[in-house]
Structure 1
Amino acid sequence: MKRKHSYLHIKNLSTYLGILLVGIFTASCEKFVDINDDPNNPTTPTLSLLLPATQLSLAGNFGGSSASNGLNGGSTSVSQQFASGPLNRWNQTGGSFSSSWSGFYTGTIPDLETIIRVGTEQGEWGYVAIAKLQKAYLYSIMVDVWGDIPYSQAGGEFPNPVFDNGADIYESLFSVIDEALADIDKGFSVSSSADLFFQGSAEKWSRMGKSLKLKMLNQIRLVDPARAAAGIKALIAEADELIADNSQDFTFQYGTTIAPNTRHPWFVSWYNTGRGGYVSMPLIDRLKAQDDPRLRYYIFRMDETRGLANSTNGEGYYGRYPGDGTASPADLNTRAIVGIYPAAGLYDNGMIPSLTTENIYLNNDGAVTGTTSNSFKVALFTNGDGTGGGILPLLTNFMVKFIRAEAALTLNTGEDVKQLLMDGVEAHLMLVNTVSTSNGGQAIPAANITGFANRIGEQFDAADAVGKMELLMMQKWIALYGNGVEAYNDYRRTGLPELEELLAPLDEFPMRFYYSETELTSNETVIAIRDEFQRKQQFTPVFWDVND
């Protein structure tokens, strides 16, 4: 059954790109000064135009413009869900995330602050609430990946904003979420066309805010377990007010147009002549090992005879292992690429020769012999190559289920860990189905979804305490394909799932991401210490990470 509002449905995303340009132009009241008070040049921003601009900016700078850049690209590589890009070898520079950094600080954040200020003056509490929740989400992610960042003096008024402590920022963000939830209760009236995430739904924004608080409380459980446990227990006491269904997911939906290009950045990178790098062999190996049907959705094989290093002895899963820095052979038309989930590329229904009758869920039922349907050899860069209308899962039902399971397992919050684990797996398989069927792919049969989730439950019952945690975090890591930031966060917090040893690392594992070099060479508060300040990012944990 197709969800009605499980993620954003946009008929023409180019309209919103136009809105984004308007939003950038109308970023703050100061930009609208006109001594003649010309009605055609208003001095006050229009909130219904500025809000979607912030949402496009948030998603755009999070997801990047291609598979290899932006926070998502780098974190997907460092968490070994991709096997390409400098972060695949733990190497980063001051330019690695400069685009995301500058996009957030010069676009998203000033516009959010404008909405909060102007909306408060006008009593437009719906817009204020949404802006505050987006602010809390964005800053929490920025603290997660960068640690200490400009916060109290960010927004444009201070040319040299100080870098605030990450723990202090988190503390402030908990208050921002509470303020936003209170603002919703003051009266919520937001144009559905102005809200690209939830189409003006107060209920869904409230669920998002409470789920964000849940995620952040779980994130700090190592440094403040008592507070984390108490806060999570309070939230799960009213669990029906959290994100509890895929239709309530905080997810960005990409478009399908080419001009302007509104398609998923992974699709744009991988479905062109240059490709986007290499798919991850650890991901493929783990999916095959657990008989996981998502392999056909995550990875598309362009040549079923290819193996590692472009050999002709394989079954098409031609990717790379982490840290492989060897030069690329002439393999642009033979390497495996991303599939239909989450980028809305192609569903792979070709034969997988190594599968046997023991493969119940990853099987060859209905597979095409000799080639994958929609093969590039048949329809190179035509309409057969998918739509690109994929998703960016930011905070979802499956994530909330896994977070609650982790909290129950580590903080004794009283919930059924096994059931939450199974519910999280099932929710994600259903999300994969929705993206696939919306983009011309096949669906995982309902019986297989239930059967696969039940098998995970049986494995959980058979595991010891350590094994239960390993199983939980492995399942979450697999489901987080599409949001590398959360996979990166989870690994630093739990050390799970265990990452593969790099073939040729260029540095040590990055505990934080590098700051934008432009910031460090222009912000007078850090210019004098910029080299040392930057280098510490590689080996200094974020405040909530106390693992050795």
Structure 2
Amino acid sequence: MKFIYKLQTIALIGFLLIVNACKDFVDINEDPNNPTTPVLDLLLPATQVSMAGSLRDVNQGTSILTQHLYIANTSRNFQDGTTYQQSWNGLYTQALNDLEIIIREGTTQLRWDYVAIAKLQKAYIYSIMVDMWGDIPYTDASQGNTIENPAFESGAEIYDKLFALIDEALADADKGAFAVLGDVIYKGSKDSWVRMGNSLKLKLFNQVRLADPGKAKAGIDALLASGAPLISTNAQDFSFRFGSTETPANRHPWHRTEYLPTKNYYMSQHFIERLFNADDPRLRYYFYRQTSNYTVGFTPTGNGYFGRYTGDPTASPNDNSVKATVGVYPAGGLYDNSEINNLPSTYIFIPKNEGVKNFKIVGNTDGTGAGVFPLITNAMVKFILAEAALTLGTAGDAKQLFLDGIREQLNSVITVSATSGNSAPPIPVPTLNDFVTARAAEFDAATDPAAQLNLVMTQKYIALYGNGMEAYTDYRRTGLPVLPAPLSPLNAFPLRLAYSVTELSTNTNVSDRAGELQTAQQTTPVFWDK
């Protein structure tokens, strides 16, 4: 596959992104993309680091589209061939290319444990790419860099191949010993990787339920009836944890850009108000206020919750020192424990913290940056099962699964915040229990399954803060939760992300219709979007 820039060495990627748990493998003096003798326990962690790094721009853009964050043009539905080019190119030339090396060499060496993990990571990455872009190169791209002009395949066809690939990986995991070294995500736990594979299958089956409800129901029913283990505790989450060092820079990307005098984002005012108005205790974990009160025309809430509404086209003043920024979850920033002066007296879940005033202008020494990129989590699995039970009639108590999803994500926020090295108090157990009980009352009061599904998808949306990709997929599939229209959109809401301009201009299979394909990305649904 042809690209403008040269593939960066895995050693450099390690020094830029690697987490603390990986200190024992960053001293690599050879390029694993051109190894004379591939060393699987060096290649594997490099693929995990490059996966997280390459998904950065996609995660940023989809977080903006789904109103978790704000950047002007993206929030107005603008994209072009450079917006996600780095993610597209990086996934193909780095993570996926190295995974193919592991699969090939691991098969030769009969190291089925490495092969199983590589196939599961490959299935995950390609599933995300289909969800983001629709039709993409798959079979030809799986040949590594040997085919310069890979053919594009339909997303539906690729999904079928991914189901088979996951089954292959799970079978490979049972071949011989499982003694993996260098695994950043699961530290070589076979049980966790098997649960990840089954949970990925569950997610993909659920995502096709509108396009093929029979297939979705049969797949989920078979998975549950078989007793296949799913991610069922937060410790089994398929997540990428960042480190806390500035040099080498391995902190969460949101911390790296926002805990500086200059900042890339505004917080989404719509999202802030959703949590504020719902008396949601995650408000203090998700956002950090640098000032006690800042009110301008587009920020009616005051209290320092200074963000921007989606699609606001007005120019940005010199306001980096007063706007709200990312908090302790998921970015590893600061926990906001200062008072909120107009918090309604009826609120019981957001702590009032009266008299506490610890506002400050944040810098790179504030917070640790040891945040998390939640990819497939226990909470997500619970919400998926609740959705499937409501819409497909699959096994499980939809209400209990809904409540379990809320509880487990709240616990994850507490755990990630506490283990990031920052000072963040846990949500008191009675408060957490009462918050879940209040959501149970809302579920009971819902008049029909559609209203209950709205509650499930709304709580899942709030829980997905930090993973805009899944929020973007859910919103296109279900239209839930209802998001306010952009104030001044430049385009219709994009149903797919823009292709890499480099791919369209150099791949002879598509270069003669590059403009047509790129234009169609804005308005063409992904195959599961019915």
Give the TM-score taking structure 2 as reference length.
Answer: 0.93
Matches within 5 A, 1:201-280: 201-238=189-226, 241-280=229-268
Note the C-alpha offset of 1:451.
1.2
* Residue aligning to 1:381: 363
| SS in structure 1 of the partner of residue 311 of structure 2 | coil
Note the C-alpha offset of 1:286.
1.1
The answer to whether residue 463 in structure 2 is matched with residue 457 in structure 1 is no
* Structure 1 residues 255 and 313: alpha-carbon distance in aligned structure 2, compared to 1, 3 A threshold: closer
Give the distance between the partners of 1:265 and 1:528, measured in 2 at CA.
Answer: 36
Give the distance between the partners of 1:412 and 1:363, measured in 2 at CA.
Answer: 39
Matches within 5 A, 1:45-444: 45-62=38-55, 64=56, 70-154=57-141, 155-192=144-181, 194-238=182-226, 241-309=229-297, 314-364=302-352, 366-369=353-356, 371=357, 373=358, 375-377=359-361, 380-381=362-363, 383=365, 385-438=366-419, 439-444=422-427
* Structure 1 residues 490 and 388: alpha-carbon distance in aligned structure 2, compared to 1, 3 A threshold: same
* Structure 1 residues 307 and 182: alpha-carbon distance in aligned structure 2, compared to 1, 3 A threshold: same
Quick one: which amino acid aligns to residue 206 of structure 1? Answer: V
Quick one: which amino acid aligns to residue 20 of structure 2? Answer: K
| SS in structure 2 of the partner of residue 134 of structure 1 | helix
**Contact residue 355 and residue 363 of structure 1 kept, 8 A:** no
Note the C-alpha offset of 1:454.
1.3
* Residue aligning to 2:13: none
* Structure 1 residues 151 and 278: alpha-carbon distance in aligned structure 2, compared to 1, 3 A threshold: same
* Residue aligning to 2:10: none
* Residue aligning to 1:38: none
| SS in structure 2 of the partner of residue 252 of structure 1 | strand
Give the distance between the partners of 1:309 and 1:81, measured in 2 at CA.
Answer: 21
State the Cα deviation string for residues 118-168 of structure 1 (Å, max 9, x = none): 101111000000000000000000000000001010021111101111110
Give the distance between the partners of 2:311 and 2:451, measured in 1 at CA.
Answer: 27
Query: Which of residues 502, 510, 519 is equivalent to 1:518?
Result: 502
Give the distance between the partners of 2:110 and 2:68, measured in 1 at CA.
Answer: 45
Matches within 5 A, 1:449-488: 449-465=432-448, 466-488=450-472
| SS in structure 1 of the partner of residue 197 of structure 2 | helix
Give the distance between the partners of 1:134 and 1:481, measured in 2 at CA.
Answer: 22
Quick one: which amino acid aligns to residue 283 of structure 1? Answer: F
C-alpha RMSD of the superposition: 1.8
**Contact residue 25 and residue 42 of structure 2 kept, 8 A:** no
Give the distance between the partners of 2:259 and 2:44, measured in 1 at CA.
Answer: 31
Note the C-alpha offset of 1:225.
0.6
Note the C-alpha offset of 1:17.
4.5
Quick one: which amino acid aligns to residue 478 of structure 1? Answer: I
Note the C-alpha offset of 1:440.
2.0
**Contact residue 188 and residue 202 of structure 1 kept, 8 A:** no
**Contact residue 20 and residue 242 of structure 2 kept, 8 A:** no
Note the C-alpha offset of 1:278.
0.7
Give the distance between the partners of 1:150 and 1:440, measured in 2 at CA.
Answer: 45
* Structure 1 residues 500 and 312: alpha-carbon distance in aligned structure 2, compared to 1, 3 A threshold: closer
Give the distance between the partners of 2:86 and 2:23, measured in 1 at CA.
Answer: 22
* Residue aligning to 1:11: 20
Note the C-alpha offset of 1:276.
2.2
Quick one: which amino acid aligns to residue 91 of structure 2? Answer: F
| SS in structure 2 of the partner of residue 51 of structure 1 | helix
Note the C-alpha offset of 1:281.
1.1
Give the distance between the partners of 2:58 and 2:294, measured in 1 at CA.
Answer: 31
Quick one: which amino acid aligns to residue 469 of structure 2? Answer: V
Quick one: which amino acid aligns to residue 44 of structure 1? Answer: T
Give the distance between the partners of 1:467 and 1:220, measured in 2 at CA.
Answer: 21
Give the distance between the partners of 1:248 and 1:80, measured in 2 at CA.
Answer: 28
The answer to whether residue 494 in structure 2 is matched with residue 507 in structure 1 is no
* Structure 1 residues 263 and 368: alpha-carbon distance in aligned structure 2, compared to 1, 3 A threshold: farther
* Structure 1 residues 102 and 313: alpha-carbon distance in aligned structure 2, compared to 1, 3 A threshold: closer
**Contact residue 323 and residue 505 of structure 1 kept, 8 A:** yes
The runs of 5 or more residues in structure 1 that have no matched partner are 1-8, 33-42, 65-69
Give the distance between the partners of 2:241 and 2:523, measured in 1 at CA.
Answer: 35
Note the C-alpha offset of 1:310.
8.1
* Residue aligning to 1:536: 520
Quick one: which amino acid aligns to residue 228 of structure 1? Answer: A
* Structure 1 residues 164 and 246: alpha-carbon distance in aligned structure 2, compared to 1, 3 A threshold: same
* Structure 1 residues 355 and 312: alpha-carbon distance in aligned structure 2, compared to 1, 3 A threshold: closer
Quick one: which amino acid aligns to residue 221 of structure 2? Answer: K
Give the distance between the partners of 2:253 and 2:65, measured in 1 at CA.
Answer: 18
Give the distance between the partners of 2:517 and 2:298, measured in 1 at CA.
Answer: 42
Give the distance between the partners of 1:314 and 1:408, measured in 2 at CA.
Answer: 41
Note the C-alpha offset of 1:269.
1.1
State the Cα deviation string for residues 472-509 of structure 1 (Å, max 9, x = none): 11100000000000000000000001111111101111
Note the C-alpha offset of 1:361.
0.7
| SS in structure 2 of the partner of residue 186 of structure 1 | coil
State the Cα deviation string for residues 220-278 of structure 1 (Å, max 9, x = none): 00111111111112222355710000010000000111111000000011111111221
Quick one: which amino acid aligns to residue 532 of structure 1? Answer: E
**Contact residue 125 and residue 183 of structure 1 kept, 8 A:** yes
* Residue aligning to 1:5: none
Give the distance between the partners of 2:24 and 2:78, measured in 1 at CA.
Answer: 38
* Residue aligning to 2:37: 44
